[in-house]
Amino acid sequence: MKSAIAIGAHPDDIEFYMAGTLLLLKRAGYKVHYMNIASGNCGSLKHNAARARLIRRKESEQAARILGARYHSSLTDDLEIFYEVKTLRRLAAVIREANPAIILTHSPQDYMEDHTNTCRLVVTAAFARGMPNFKTVPSRDAVDTETTIYHAMPHGLQDGLRQRVTPGAFVNTTLVHRTKRDALAAHRSQKEWLDVSQGMDSYLRVMEEMSLDVGRMSRRFKHAEGWRRHLHLGFSATDQDPLRAVLKGNYLVNASYETNLPEERRGVHSETTGPL
């Protein structure tokens, strides 16, 4: 059985940006994994860090159960996700254990460094998966499975300098949207925190609006998640797009995005999709 892993920075990030695609992979027969790098300990106005950490772990475990995914424990605390070897060794151990053919993670450009540092850590940990001389904690044998990394849309669909980020492909999440919403709703402690700290009003409504916005960008799907595929060099022998192969009609390549790439870096079979 092939596996896929979604790796977010904080509890609820997977549900905001990646859970619909993870659910579709689950339906397609993949064994799916769920991991947040940080514990969520700073996401509270009324609980101390220890209590918030415990609450958010329980919420994440419940969300993972709703998604049918194996839960992996966090590695550090909020605002302490740094690109450094201690965290890298621990993350690489998880990736070797999960041995994923597909990795879902954050955008290289986003509104906060926890997200972008998570992206960097994931890319390097995946790159090191087959290097026996890179030691992991705990120790895990190197694996030689090919993998493909997909980067989710940044929060607000723009980078830190307010430039709009365009997906390279869209995944139709309409059929699994209710379950995605239920998984996000498991993070009950975040309503008050996000209302006050980021003016989100209702975090469920914000996710809904983003999902519909990406769907409109696709010009085909009601609800969608957007993805950009990482360059295959160091991860697979050839340029692969396994989400396209697995999800078929629920996956739409953005031909206008691919057209703007150098010819040698355009997506496999993107010419068959047609313009949007």
Q: For tokens 């999960």, name the residue.
A: 98
User: Looking at residue 104, what is its pLDDT?
Assistant: 99
The DSSP result for 173-186, as a single string, is -GGGHHHHHHHHHT
Beta bridge partners of 31: 3
Helix axes 49-67, 177-185, angle to 10 degrees: 160
Strand order in the sheet with 3-8: 70-72, 31-36, 3-8, 102-105, 148-152, 224-229, 169-172, 251-253
Tell me the mean pLDDT in the region 207-236. 97
User: Looking at residue 203, what is its pLDDT?
Assistant: 85
pTM over 0.75: yes
User: Looking at residue 217, what is its pLDDT?
Assistant: 97
Kindly list the structural domains of the chain, giving each domain's residue range(s) and its CATH number in brackets, ordered by start. 3-272 (3.40.50.10320)
Q: Where is 19: in which H helix or E strand?
A: helix 19-27
**Please, what sign has the CA dihedral across residues 91, 155, 67, 173?**
negative
Write out pLDDT tens, residues 139-195. 999 999 999 999 999 999 999 999 999 999 999 999 999 999 999 999 988 877 666
pLDDT reading at 272 higher than 60: no
pLDDT reading at 198 higher than 70: no
What are φ and ψ of residue 160, in 5° steps? -65, -15
